[in-house]
Amino acid sequence: MNKTMQMISTTALATVLFVSPVAAFSDTEGHEHDDAISALEEEGVISGLGNGEYHPDVSLTYAQAATLLAQGLPLPSNFMADSSSWYAEAMNTLEFNHLDLEGLNPSDPMTREAFGSLLFDAVGKTGNYPLTKQFIVINDAEEATEAYAGNLQGLLISGIAELDKDGNFYPQREITRGEAAKWLYEAREYIQRYADAPGQVGSVEVREEAVAEENEDDMKQVTFTVQAPTAGFSLEVEDVQYEDGTALVTLALIAPPEDRAQAQVITDVSVTEDIQSDAAVKVDELKTP
């Protein structure tokens, strides 16, 4: 069945319409992930294993995963050295983006939780994307590695991956090449969805604490709260000016360090400032990154 898909360019996040009337590979026709595989092949992200075959039900190796992410996501790279290894440039790209797979055997198969966590971290390197605040119940969560738990939630909340009809994720199961292609396709769709509409900063909430009668400083504490597009942001009071009985407050939203992975969830950040108790409070400016 024909399906129109929005695709993301491997070199730029430009939208292209693609119609897939036939399978890109001889062994993917009728496969549950054929549409995603064909779309990625059309964009030059994947090329199969030769002889016109993709082997969608074969386990994905770490080397193949690195190549998928390096070719399928807009990750910067400084690769310059020559190497006889076909996956060396991809591994270097991941290392350059602090997605290091050092110490792992490139030919070993990846689990669903390992690839899912790596994919979600890689998506986070391409920009800040909002996620709704929610918790998805995973019936087989006890089988997951604790270090991957946060990323797996993000993977599910973003719609990049989904649970089966029984609410299971199968974290320890080896991920297939077909599943990995599907998740990568959805990750590219997710990035494109926000490429031209980055996470918005919410309005400022102002909360004043009651002034105690014994307060000799004649000051009140005022808390300012802003909804940031991801975790890792901080809020600062940059300036307070008093005019005609009003405290004019300038706030600054500080972005997280670029070299640190952040949970892609909408997060409230707050700061508290002492304000003259008899002054009205007005946020004069909110500076954003």
pLDDT tens for 161-193 read: 999 999 999 999 999 999 999 999 999 999 888
Closest CA to 270 of 178, 206, 211, 182: 206
Closest CA to 54 of 26, 30, 90: 26
Mean pLDDT in the chain? Answer: 82
Structure-token pair, residue 244: 């005609």
Q: Whole-prediction pTM value?
A: 0.63
Q: Compute the distance between CA of residue 235 and CA of residue 268 in angstroms, rounded to an integer.
A: 10
Instruction: Please check whether residue 227 is in contact with residue 267, taking contact to mean a CB–CB distance below 8 angstroms.
Output: yes
Q: Per mean pLDDT, which range of 28-42, 43-57, 153-167, 188-202 is the poorest?
A: 188-202
Tell me which residue has tokens 């292209």.
Answer: 16
The per-residue pLDDT for range 90-121, each reduced to its tens digit, is 988 898 888 978 788 999 999 999 999 999 99
Pairwise pLDDT comparison (7 vs 278), residue with the higher score: 278
pLDDT attached to residue 265: 67
Number of CB atoms found within 10 A of residue 23's CB = 18
Domain range summary for the chain, segments of one domain joined by +:
4-195, 205-287
Structure-token pair, residue 185: 């396709």
Amino acid 288 reads T
Amino acid 185 reads Y
Neighbouring residues of 159: CB distance < 8 A, sequence distance ≥ 6: 186, 190
